[in-house]
Amino acid sequence: MAGSRVSEAQTRGSHHCMDKTTMNLPRKFFFIILTVLALVICAWIGFEWWTFLKTPLVANNGSPVSFVFAQGTSVKKAAYSLKQQNLLKRPLFFVLFVRLSGVEYTLKAGEYVIEPGATAYKLIQKMAKGDSLRHAFTLVEGWNFSQVIAALNDNKYIKHTVQKLSTTEIMEKIGHSGEMPEGRFAPDTYLFSGEITDVDILLNAYSLMQKRLQAAWDTRAKNIPYH
């Protein structure tokens, strides 16, 4: 009798242990699946990251491509602009790389040439250094104001804002209302990158002429003998 009870107790204990083991199997299996899935995801992200770093934005046998990073444009917007130009596959990786590099707030606006074989890293380096494409506008000595405006209008790299304005309105727009324009703008070659307006060029030329006139006046004043 006693032996029978012991046997029954052992049997129940054995069944209880088997039940616990059976219950734990799904948990272990689920944990293994999660672990494998996590490893696969990490491997995929690692591969995509490596591909992002190594893949050129422009193929080695391609042609140079121009990319404009306008003043005030966010890194995210720039990344998606690159994607729209079919230069970048993973824009979020571009944003992440810029932020990890610590150059997010030092990127310079401008027009950048992406050479064949250049990677996203190379472009980010260029943008951080401000190594952008430069354009030029030459204001020729002897030009009258109408010729200056005509040359500005003919320059495709300059944003035109004064095309339909009169001479008086243009002088008002640059903050010198009532002044005659002739002789107010310094002949020179003005280099610029990125977006620039005709008003910006006129202001630079006006400011340069004022500096030259002041320098000439200062030199003359020094040469005047005192009695």
Same-domain check for residues 37 and 71: no
Which residues on neighbouring strands pair with residue 197, listed in sequence order? Answer: 159
Predicted pLDDT at 21: 54
Clarify whether residues 143 and 214 are in a common domain.
Answer: yes
Neighbouring C-alpha atoms within 13 Å toward the C-beta of 12: 6
Which residue pairs from 15-20 have beta carbons closer than 8 angstroms and sit at least 24 positions apart in sequence?
Answer: none
Q: How many CB atoms lie within 10 A of CB 62?
A: 13
Residue 40 has, within 13 A of its CA and on its CB side, a CA count of: 6
Distance CA 133, CA 114 (A): 10
How many domains would you assign to the chain? Answer: 3
Structure tokens at 179: 């002044």
How far is C-alpha 71 from the geometric centre of its chain's CA atoms?
9
Least confident piece of the model among 44-53, 138-147, 149-158 = 44-53
- Tell me what the mean pLDDT of segment 62-81 comes to: 92
Local confidence band at 224 (pLDDT 50, 70, 90 cut-offs): low
The whole model's pTM is what? 0.62
In a domain, 60, yes or no: no
Give the residue numbers spanning the domain of 103: 65-129
- 159 and 217 in a single domain? The answer is yes
CATH number, domain of 99, equals 3.30.1490.480
Least confident piece of the model among 7-21, 22-36, 198-212: 7-21
